Structure 1
Amino acid sequence: MSRARQPAGRGRPAASGPSELDDPTFSEEDGVRYLHFGSPWVQGAMKVRSPFSLVLEYTRQMMAWLLFLEQPGADEDAIGTLGLGAGSLARYCLKHTDSRIQAVEWNPRVTAACRAYFRLPDDGERFAVTHADAGEWVLDIANRGTCRALMVDLYDHAARGPVRDSVAFYRGCRRVVSAHAHQAGVVTVNLFGAHESFEHNLRNLQEAFEGRVLLLPEIEEGNRVAIALAGPALGIDAQMLLARGEEVERRYGLPARKWARSLAPEAGRL
């Protein structure tokens, strides 16, 4: 999610189901269509004439797992998203990878809005949306080791910080991408750098991932993406990370060289 036409997020469930406050609403300006939950906070965006591009900077940063992993093949583990938003990451991954995409979204009304107004495809061989509480989904043993990369963006209409942020939740995310010690996986999480929830989430991520957490620089809109690594040590150095950034930028059109430069000083501990 991004700040009022500005960090973005996904919905907190009420006890009996999605709240009316999380009903999708829309705006459009300069060829960009925005998803909201009845407030100015942006939950997602799509260029009407270029629906597979990533409009919001933080959504591009959520793809920074590519610095550490190759995209999964079609017959391998999936790319996962917790929180659908406007479907931006799902559309991008369907266009630019051969991977299967598994989205988890609490609110069926969001999925319906994405399919009606944001060019999200129906479920098929490579793509599926599961309507579930992300906090319960990551703890379900059936989902362990099912994703190679997992992108977590869970906010509600009030955008008071991620709605799932406990150590247990982040440990569940870790098990989704790494069911055993030899399975490498990466989780990216959208946080608000200047928000009171930031330090709490960072501490819980650090505990769940045994300190293997990196941070991209905070962007102008306030988002700060955390990158958490699971599985065996990567054994890379700064030069290898910089080279990988060049490759990712060339292949995917993402500003990965900038990401790699910011993370290079930490490469030795990965």
Structure 2
Amino acid sequence: MRIRQPLKLELEYIQRMMAWTLLREPDTVPEARTLQLGLGAAALTKFCHSVLRAPTTAVELNPQVIAACRAWFHLPDDDERLTVIQGDAARFVADDAHVAAFDAICVDLYDHEAASPVLDDEAFYRACWQALDDGGVMSVNLFGRDVSFDRSAARIAAAFGAERVAMLKPTSDGNTIVLAWKGFDLPPREVLAERAESLQTRWNLPARKWVKLLSRCTPSPSA
């Protein structure tokens, strides 16, 4: 985080986690009920709440992470648009109370070793599918050059359907953002390009680049 720009999305992979916005009409983005699984330094949570001004929920297992974000990283207190929950992400999305409760889910769940996602089985991704309303999109941070990538991508495809999964090319650090969506087909590239122009103009998101980097995700059959 830049001290003088605490709401700016600084890291490239964090910016790309917002690529879910490409799969929605730009005018509906501020209305999207967003869910972050894993708070991290609260960059996505702050951006969705304070820049998009969207209804925002974040679920974080470690109470010390929440405390640190509020003490040092400008995470605001809960209000009518922001709810930060200390709890287990898998239990949260599997709760029947959260069926079709969200329009966007951002999944960035790593422990201090960051070796692989701590929640990464098919049941978890099916629960994320369940928590999305029709028209909803999930973005997941994976390590694209890691041997676990195909396995993770295959689990996402099993939960959402292989025709409803795409990916952005890996960042220079190897982070690959996978997008999965519910209840619609991937828009044509010219539509995505039009949306990207709007996203870049309105919220300064590098969305034109996302369109160029986006492709269908086809995990290895052996995954």
TM (norm. structure 2) is 0.91
CA distance in 2, matches of 1:117, 1:262: 33
Rounded to whole Å, the distance in 2 between the matches of 1:238 and 1:195 is 28
The corresponding residue for 2:143 is: 192
1:191-220 Cα shifts (integer Å, max 9, x gaps): 011122211110100100111110101001
C-alpha deviation, 1:261, in angstroms: 2.1
* Structure 2 residue identity aligned to 1:224: T
CA distance in 1, matches of 2:144, 2:125: 18
CA distance in 2, matches of 1:196, 1:163: 15
**Is the 1:167–1:207 contact (alpha carbons within 8 Å) kept by the matching residues of 2?**
yes
Match of 1:18 in 2: none
Distance in structure 1 (CA, Å) of the matches to 2:152 and 2:100: 23
User: Which secondary structure state, in structure 2, belongs to the residue aligned with residue 81 of structure 1?
Assistant: strand
Amino acid at match of 1:153: D
So what's the TM-score if we normalise by structure 1? 0.76
Query: Which of 103, 107, 124 is the matching residue for 1:152?
Result: 107
In structure 2, the gaps of 5 or more residues are 217-223
Residue correspondence of structure 1 range 203-218 to structure 2 within 5 A: 203-211=154-162, 212-218=164-170
- Tell me which residue corresponds to 2:181: 229
- 1:249 corresponding residue in structure 2: 200
Q: Distance in 1 between matches of 2:30 and 2:6?
A: 23
Decide which structure has greater helix share.
2
Aligned residue for 2:78, secondary structure, equals: coil
Native 8 Å contact 1:72 1:79 kept in 2: no
Cα distance in 2 for residues equivalent to 1:99 and 1:158: 32
> Could you tell me whether the CA contact under 8 Å between 1:186 and 1:227 is conserved in 2?
yes
Q: Which of the numbers 255, 258, 264 marks the counterpart of 2:209?
A: 258
1:243 counterpart letter in structure 2: E
CA distance in structure 1 between the aligned counterparts of 2:119 and 2:8, rounded to whole angstroms: 27
2:29 counterpart residue number = 71
SS in 2 for 1:260: helix
The answer to whether residue 12 in structure 2 is matched with residue 57 in structure 1 is yes
**Would the aligned equivalents of 1:105 and 1:132 in 2 still touch at CA under 8 Å?**
yes
Q: RMSD over aligned Cα, in angstroms? A: 1.3
Q: Which amino acid aligns with 2:87?
A: A
Q: What percentage of residue pairs aligned between the two structures are identical?
A: 42
Q: 2:172 maps to which residue? A: 220
1:111 paired residue number: 66
Query: Which amino acid counterpart does residue 71 of structure 2 have in structure 1?
Result: A
In the alignment, structure 1 residue 240 sits paired with structure 2 residue 195? no
**Runs of 5+ consecutive residues of structure 1 not aligned to the other structure:** 1-45
8 Å CA contact retained: 1:72, 1:148: no
For 1:177-188, list aligned pairs within 5 A.
177-178=132-133, 183-188=134-139
Larger Rg: 1
Q: Does 1:80 align with 2:35?
A: yes
| Secondary structure, counterpart of 1:184 in structure 2 | strand
Q: Conserved in 2, the CA contact under 8 Å of 1:82 and 1:152? A: yes
SS of corresponding position for 1:172: helix
- Offset at residue 72 of structure 1 (A): 4.4
Deviation of 1:158 (Å): 0.8
